[in-house]
Structure 1
Amino acid sequence: MRIMAAGLNYRTAPVHIREKLALSEHDIADVLSGLRGSKSIMEGVILSTCNRTEVYAVAERKDQFMRELAYMMERKYNLSQEQFEASFYLHEDNAAVEHLFRVTSGLDSMVVGETQILGQVRDAFLYSQSLPATGAVFNRLFKQAVTLAKRLHTETRIGHKPVSVSYAAVELAARMMGSLAGRNIVLVGAGQMTELALKHMQARGADRISVVNRSYNRALEFADQFGITAEPWESLGTLLNTAELAMAATGAAEPVVTFDMLRGARQHRSAPLLLIDMGVPRDIDPLAEQLDGVTLYDIDRLGAIVNENAEARAKEALKLTPVIQKERHDFTRWMKELGVAPAIAALREKADAIRESACQDMLNKLPDLDERERKVIGKLTKSIVNQLLRDPILNIKELASERGGEVAIEAFTRIFGIEEQAQRLAEPEGTEASDAMDPRNAIA
């Protein structure tokens, strides 16, 4: 088994490429089903955010996995082979594990140390698990990644100051407009990103804010929660007539703030209008910046905004590399132990069967033993078996984690005559067999 992480992010692909792969849950289920149906992967998790789309896979063959992925990207999402090769990266095995740990901890984010990605990775894993598209390897790996990220954000200063994309958007607006107090501000969308932006704006004194959302009830709930004004979706064009700042993040497939809408608004105003598009796919027509008096920043331009906190976080991130590498080493060791788990479980199964058979023969020859005496004999024989197996199990675990571990495992199964049992346990069916495969459960 090999662990792979293939994808694109804000470094390797511009927004017009990334928005093609802003995958919904339905899309994710479809892609995972297609890849697993072609037998190119055994386990899979897809992470799709505004800044990255990544496919994590447990697979046997790298070349087959990448061919299937490229074919699917072209057929379903109109990503040409040339675009795929130019945008997609691939990390394998240890590098893939370390990449996931860095992504989940916010060390690979556009804004280093941001915490939103932690929840996005967790949600991506839980959704893939519910399909179900994960197994023993990813159930362990992603839980370890989430636990590590939580610990790093608690124990270090990597997330000491708020520097999310939403924060960067508000920081930009404040720098360009001065005080946000008394400014007419429109929020398009009532999701998590606009919520974060709103909190930062209110912290800077913004007090004249309206929100529009396709669901008016959601807009009302949002407005009531934060003490702002909710307006119907149909009033967006009118609101832009007087707005000085508009921020958008809706998740819509096409721009909701259109060029014609903005051109009409310019006819009713002379004051400048600052537009900040935090959405992928984009929520504001990129042609808007052709209009006089309109300044547009999309998520890529936001990524270029660097403030004082970014440098401090980058320095803190360097200190975390040894921690990430230790976690990767721990997982790699567990993976190698997972490979020996069927052999250990098979040895335990054979030893228990021999012990039980011998005990039964002895009890048949000593029918006058009372219940207490029978229990004493049972405990004694179990203790003997455990003590005999302790050193072989510890030694094979150690050998399995070293170079040539597969050869050591093969010799181990031949010495104890457990080849068939180990092969059977290596192909688990159902929860009971899966538990036997876990090295934590295979050792008494």
Structure 2
Amino acid sequence: MENLNLSKHKTFYAIGLSYKKADAEVRGQFSLDSKAKRNVLLQAKQEGLDSLIVTSTCNRTEIYGYAAHPFQLIKLICQNSAGTVEEFQKVGFVYKNHEAISHLFRVGTGLDSQILGDFEIIGQIKTSFAESRSLGLINAFLDRLINSVIQASKKIKNETEISSGATSVSFASVQYIIKNVTDIGDKNILLFGAGKIGRNTCENLVKHTKNDHITLINRTKNKAELLAGKLNLIVKDYGDLHQALQKADVLIVATGAQNPTIDKNILNLKKPLLILDLSIPKNVNSNVEQIPGVTLVHLDYLSQMTDDTLERRKQHIPAAEAIIEDVKLEFITWMNGRKYAPTIHALKAKLNEMAASELLLQKKKSSNFDEEQAEIISKKIIQKITNQFASHLKDENSNVDDSIEWIEKVFQIGLQTPKKTPSIIEDKYKINLS
């Protein structure tokens, strides 16, 4: 019989941490760059885990996948980042089975985002999904689940206005700059690094400030030139950073480095400087605030900026949640079907065996027994019985695991089915990793 959970491991988990309980500094400790994410996948494969995806953004680091125990997944994050198990216990979460499925739906549809309705995360989930699949780490369950989340995300984007209006961290950055820097169109703006939020902020700056002397510096110059070509920016060499810093009125840092790239020792300022650090981990050392005239604003502060757009978006949460429930129900129905199909097939075989035995007995007893007619009638009755059981198992109010166990016990179906699996349990998994 196919494993009820579509994996050799019993439980589907969502584990990780996000902006809800972990501040930027802690999230930085647990962040995984592209190399670290791949190492997590390779290590998982080596350790026998057969289906998982890994996401790591400025707001969250999470793993969705099958394991015998959540610590197997927590360990993968901690061993490939600067985070510790002790710190994870303070700020991390562990969801399992249905609660894990619900969490993934909310994350992928922007309902769990720091900025409500931010759909960037679904693109990152798609990328993570593709990478796991390339390594053979996607089973039928996770394949169907991720595609269901993508479907829900698309429907919410098309059928509600939860993502309407220009609200994102990058737009909030531009709003902050415009409100706090006078004559921004004439000021010297320096973008250091070409991280995604930094690029988006730069695009918004060009669009909303009409500033035509924004300078871009990146360690990899050809990457900077590629971005500059699209936005008509000035590109300078990394070696010109110190000189460009002295001329800047606004500095946007999006380097994506694991350690600070800007601190007070490299700033020799003769005028005020507004610094926006749009990186996780933080790429600007807080000691820059010791310099008179320097204002440092971090991503977390910008993420908390709310406006009328966000308030309007909240009105569309019920519609988005209704779409999620519809798509999720389709997925659960499919998942339960995968679980109970072997039992229904076995039940039908058992009933056919019982019918054949009874037909043989009646044939011996009666000389004028109509075997052909009796066989037709018995097959119809068996089909009706199995349809009735299948209908019960499809009912969303049925406890599939208990019902399967009961059917197999009553009809003495020789299936090696574990006692009630945790697939339908919706409690949060309480961990003790000490």
- Contact kept? 2:31, 2:56, Cα under 8 Å: yes
Pairing partner for 2:225 from 220, 227, 249 = 220
TM-score, structure 2 normalization: 0.79
- Contact kept? 2:28, 2:282, Cα under 8 Å: yes
| Residue 319 (structure 2) pairs with residue 308 (structure 1) | no
Aligned to 1:15: 24
Q: How does 1:9-408 map to 2 (within 5 A)?
A: 9-35=18-44, 37-38=46-47, 41-60=49-68, 64-66=69-71, 68-204=72-208, 205-262=210-267, 264=268, 266=269, 269-270=270-271, 272-344=272-344, 389=383, 392-393=386-387, 395-396=389-390, 398-399=392-393, 401=395, 402-408=397-403
- Contact kept? 2:31, 2:81, Cα under 8 Å: no
Task: Considering Cα pairs closer than 8 Å and 6+ residues apart, tell me whether 1 or 2 has the greater RCO.
Answer: 2
**Secondary structure class of the residue paired with 1:132:** coil
Distance in 2 separating the partners of 1:179 and 1:397: 69
- Contact kept? 1:98, 1:325, Cα under 8 Å: no
**Amino acid of the structure 1 residue aligned with 2:205:** M
- Contact kept? 2:253, 2:283, Cα under 8 Å: yes
Question: Which stretch has the larger CA shift, 30-39 or 43-52?
Answer: 30-39
**Secondary structure class of the residue paired with 1:181:** helix
Give how far 1:53 is off.
Answer: 0.5
Give how far 1:191 is off.
Answer: 3.8
Structure 1, residues 24-72: CA drift from partner, whole Å, max 9, x if none?
2332233344455555x54211111011001112234xxx323x34444
**Secondary structure class of the residue paired with 1:58:** strand
Give how far 1:389 is off.
Answer: 4.4
The 1:74/1:153 distance shift into structure 2, 3 A limit, reads closer
TM-score, structure 1 normalization: 0.77
Distance in 1 separating the partners of 2:379 and 2:281: 62
**Secondary structure class of the residue paired with 1:320:** helix
**Amino acid of the structure 2 residue aligned with 1:207:** D
**Secondary structure class of the residue paired with 1:224:** helix
RMSD over aligned CA atoms reads: 3.1
Distance in 2 separating the partners of 1:161 and 1:349: 58
The 1:299/1:394 distance shift into structure 2, 3 A limit, reads farther
**Number of positions where the alignment pairs a residue of Structure 1 with one of Structure 2:** 384
Distance in 1 separating the partners of 2:79 and 2:195: 31
Structure 1, residues 215-270: CA drift from partner, whole Å, max 9, x if none?
111211211111111111111111111111111212222222233212x2x1xx22
Give how far 1:170 is off.
Answer: 0.9
Structure 1, residues 73-112: CA drift from partner, whole Å, max 9, x if none?
5544343343111110122222222211111111111111
The 1:327/1:26 distance shift into structure 2, 3 A limit, reads same
Distance in 2 separating the partners of 1:345 and 1:231: 69
Distance in 1 separating the partners of 2:239 and 2:150: 41
Distance in 2 separating the partners of 1:5 and 1:36: 18
The 1:396/1:246 distance shift into structure 2, 3 A limit, reads same
Give how far 1:330 is off.
Answer: 2.8
- Contact kept? 2:160, 2:319, Cα under 8 Å: no
The 1:348/1:233 distance shift into structure 2, 3 A limit, reads farther
Distance in 2 separating the partners of 1:162 and 1:218: 27
Structure 1, residues 308-354: CA drift from partner, whole Å, max 9, x if none?
212112232244223323333332222221211333566799999xx
Give how far 1:12 is off.
Answer: 0.8
**Amino acid of the structure 2 residue aligned with 1:234:** G
Question: Which stretch has the larger CA shift, 45-54 or 22-31?
Answer: 22-31
Structure 1, residues 2-27: CA drift from partner, whole Å, max 9, x if none?
33211111121111111122212332
**Secondary structure class of the residue paired with 2:191:** strand
**Secondary structure class of the residue paired with 2:141:** helix
Distance in 2 separating the partners of 1:77 and 1:340: 40
- Contact kept? 2:30, 2:82, Cα under 8 Å: no
| Residue 404 (structure 2) pairs with residue 409 (structure 1) | yes
**Amino acid of the structure 2 residue aligned with 1:48:** S
Any stretches of 5+ residues in structure 2 without a counterpart?
Answer: 1-9, 353-374, 418-434
The 1:320/1:311 distance shift into structure 2, 3 A limit, reads same
**Secondary structure class of the residue paired with 2:178:** helix
Any stretches of 5+ residues in structure 1 without a counterpart?
Answer: 353-380, 424-444
**Amino acid of the structure 1 residue aligned with 2:390:** I
The 1:387/1:152 distance shift into structure 2, 3 A limit, reads farther
Give how far 1:185 is off.
Answer: 0.7
Aligned to 2:420: none
Distance in 1 separating the partners of 2:182 and 2:160: 33
**Amino acid of the structure 1 residue aligned with 2:64:** Y
Structure 1, residues 175-211: CA drift from partner, whole Å, max 9, x if none?
1114421211111122432221122112212222111
**Secondary structure class of the residue paired with 2:315:** helix
**Secondary structure class of the residue paired with 2:252:** strand
